[in-house]
Structure 1
Amino acid sequence: MQKPFTQLGQRQNLIRQFTPNWFTVSMGTGVVALIVSEFPILKSFTWSFGTTLWCLNIALFVLFTVLYGLRWVFYPHEAKQIFQHPMMSLFLGTIPMALATILNGCLKYGQPIYGDIAVHVAKSLWYVDVLLALLVAWGVPFVMYQRQQHSLSNMTAVWLLPIVACEVAASSGGLLLGHLPTDGHAVAILLASYVLWGISVLPAFAILTILMLRLVLHKLPEKELAVSSWLALGPIGTGALALLILGQQAPTVLVSIDLVEMGQLFQYAGIFGSLILLGFGLWWLGIAVMTTLHHAKQELPFNLGWWGLTFPLGVYTLAILNLAQQLNLAFLYAVGYAFAAILLILWCLVASKTAHGFYQGHLFFSPCLKAYLEQH
């Protein structure tokens, strides 16, 4: 049997080779934790399972944060090379998105267990998440413009990662409002969340437009990046989810400043807008499935990019379930549960392959470090 981490030469290279795309593991696990307890059967089991996954996700996030922090402490010059790399720098957006799944879990699982302390923790984490999301949303695109070399033929849906974090924070803001008193602070969070939605969704749609042009002119991505096609579902599903959650909270929050009619308008707009976005997402989902099946004729090499099968589908599923809850439509619930079952299967597949790759050590590889060493 192959010994763990032999490909790395020494165990300390685990830190040297650690990259932020590992936070996609936390994103995927976190969204499954939020969904699994929504199943209408075996509620006590699914709730316990969801709580366990949430705790596991916290442990994963802490582990990844420590490893990545140690890389900056012990290998700062090499760690800085991420800003030169046209692909790996995009994964900095996964850090605030992974954090968002944890604070959402605080509200869903932590509050029933620990009470109001979990809400206070979630509120603090939300502010941290917003700050990180904004820094990434501004910083990574600027670095792309300033330092990196990109071409249309090499573009993938990974470009979306630094942009989507703000709308994920917007969704979390809406969930947080359901646990806060309806005062001026809540109004500020509501309006700020809509601003975060605009910061994210509109640039994401611009990227999706360019991505469609890239696919027409330069055909499908290589098989190593086939799963990246699923990432297009992320900003669409999260955008719909944020509109639904914020719209649901708007009437209650805005009544405190005598704008209840505006709140109702936001709620109706959220339902209408989410229907349109879910339709757009369904189209992209079909493209992603066909792209994956096309490359699956040959063996698809496993890499951490396979986690792109989880979080985008997860937020899309959450949007469907939230819409079903607001409209109280049984057939929408059925569709949502079907997507949730598929998501759970995909998570089991990807998680098992990741655990094996973690043990063997071959998933620890820093492309930006390799490019730096080749130049020197």
Structure 2
Amino acid sequence: MRPMFFGSVLGIGGLANGWRVASRLWGVPVEIGEGLALLAFGLWALWCVLYAGKWLRYPQEARADLRHPVQALLAALIPVTTLIASMAIGPHVPLLGWVMFAAGVAGVVVFAAWSIGGLWQGGRDVAHTTAILYMPTVGGGLVAALACAWFGQTTLGWMYFGLGLISWMSMESVLLSRLFNHALPVDLRATMGVHLAPPAVACVAYLMLDPGPASPVALALFGYGCFLALVMIRLVPWLRQQPFGPGAWAYTFGVSALPLAALRLVEKGAGAPLAIMALPMFAVANLIIGWIAARSLVLVWRFVGDLSREA
């Protein structure tokens, strides 16, 4: 069990939030969004138990993950998905939601300081520079900002928004320079899915923190997210050279956040073309995440079958 498994919580939780907004906009059954939210919480709890078990039974392997130049930064998914799970369970068990929210925002900033402090010491191979670099500060900061807005902590939310937004702006050129000059190995191409997420998540966080109507800032963030989505579509044949695996869930962070941003913009009064774009974008996101979930279940079934045969 590795931290990358927590990526499934991002996709399912993001989709749940999309269905929650869709229920307000279009009157779809609220049970769909709440069911997905509880599924996201259940996955988060399962991965937490399994990851804790790994530390208890195989501590050397767990420590090795934290020393890996790429995989180590994926540990940021633990506090980030804790925040996603807190928003999922909060409406049903408020006290538990608040406890998880507090643990998540603290975990985000502690892990970000620890991991970025290590990067500042230099010596990093360019081959290890991938969009996973976004996770501790960009992903952590923006999801924390979104969660702060959800729990009514707007002042703290703007502080986390600054952490995420400024980190993204400073890292974007570093990652683009790496992509322009050094080919990404096949086994790391799923990390490109993370590259889609920052503008979309920043847009959602901004809309939740700002009580007013849809602003030009939010529209600008959404526009850049749409551009990155087009780039990703152009890269599909290249990306599919990597065999399907758990890393595919990295795509779901941005895939779920971009239509959520569109839905929130429509909810805040943005007119055409957002009102036209929101429904097909949301439908496509459901299809993509559903396909990834189905493929993942097939892998799990095969894995269980292999274990039973060995037994």
Structure 1 length-normalised TM: 0.74
SS at match of 1:214: helix
Deviations 1:16-53 (A, max 9, x none): xx111100011111111221344455722xx2222222
Aligned to 1:289: 233
Contact 1:230 1:285 (8 Å CA) reproduced: no
Q: Distance in 2 between matches of 1:49 and 1:98?
A: 20
Aligned to 1:235: 198
Q: Distance in 1 between matches of 2:187 and 2:279?
A: 30
Structure 2 letter corresponding to 1:241: V
Please report how far the alpha carbon of residue 63 of structure 1 lies from its aligned counterpart in structure 2 after TM superposition.
Answer: 1.0
Deviations 1:315-351 (A, max 9, x none): 2222221111112525413312221111110111111
Q: Distance in 2 between matches of 1:173 and 1:97?
A: 12
Q: Distance in 2 between matches of 1:288 and 1:198?
A: 26
Q: Distance in 1 between matches of 2:299 and 2:119?
A: 30
Contact 2:83 2:144 (8 Å CA) reproduced: yes
Can you give the 5+ residue segments of structure 1 that lack an aligned partner in the other structure?
A: 1-17, 178-188, 249-266, 363-376
Aligned to 1:100: 83
Structure 2 length-normalised TM: 0.88
Q: Distance in 2 between matches of 1:142 and 1:358?
A: 37
CA gap of 1:291–1:225, structure 2 versus 1, over 3 A, is farther
CA gap of 1:89–1:281, structure 2 versus 1, over 3 A, is same
Contact 1:243 1:271 (8 Å CA) reproduced: no
SS at match of 1:327: coil
CA gap of 1:317–1:352, structure 2 versus 1, over 3 A, is same
Counting only pairs closer than 5 Å after superposition, residues 73-92 of structure 1 correspond to structure 2 as 73-92=56-75
Aligned to 1:213: 177
Confirm whether residue 137 of structure 1 aligns to residue 112 of structure 2: yes
Structure 1 letter corresponding to 2:84: T
CA gap of 1:106–1:83, structure 2 versus 1, over 3 A, is closer
Aligned to 1:33: 16
Confirm whether residue 198 of structure 1 aligns to residue 173 of structure 2: no
Count of residue correspondences? 301
Q: Distance in 2 between matches of 1:346 and 1:218?
A: 28
- Taking only the aligned residue pairs, the percentage that are identical comes to 20
SS at match of 1:361: helix
Structure 2 letter corresponding to 1:89: A
Contact 1:229 1:291 (8 Å CA) reproduced: no
Counting only pairs closer than 5 Å after superposition, residues 1-376 of structure 1 correspond to structure 2 as 18-39=1-22, 43-44=28-29, 47-107=30-90, 110=91, 114=92, 118-146=93-121, 150-163=124-137, 164-177=139-152, 189-219=153-183, 221-248=184-211, 267=212, 271-296=215-240, 299-329=241-271, 331-361=273-303
Asked which structure has the greater CA Rg, the reply is 1
CA gap of 1:222–1:176, structure 2 versus 1, over 3 A, is same
Q: Distance in 1 between matches of 2:56 and 2:88?
A: 30
SS at match of 1:96: helix
Can you give the 5+ residue segments of structure 2 that lack an aligned partner in the other structure?
A: 305-311
CA gap of 1:35–1:75, structure 2 versus 1, over 3 A, is same
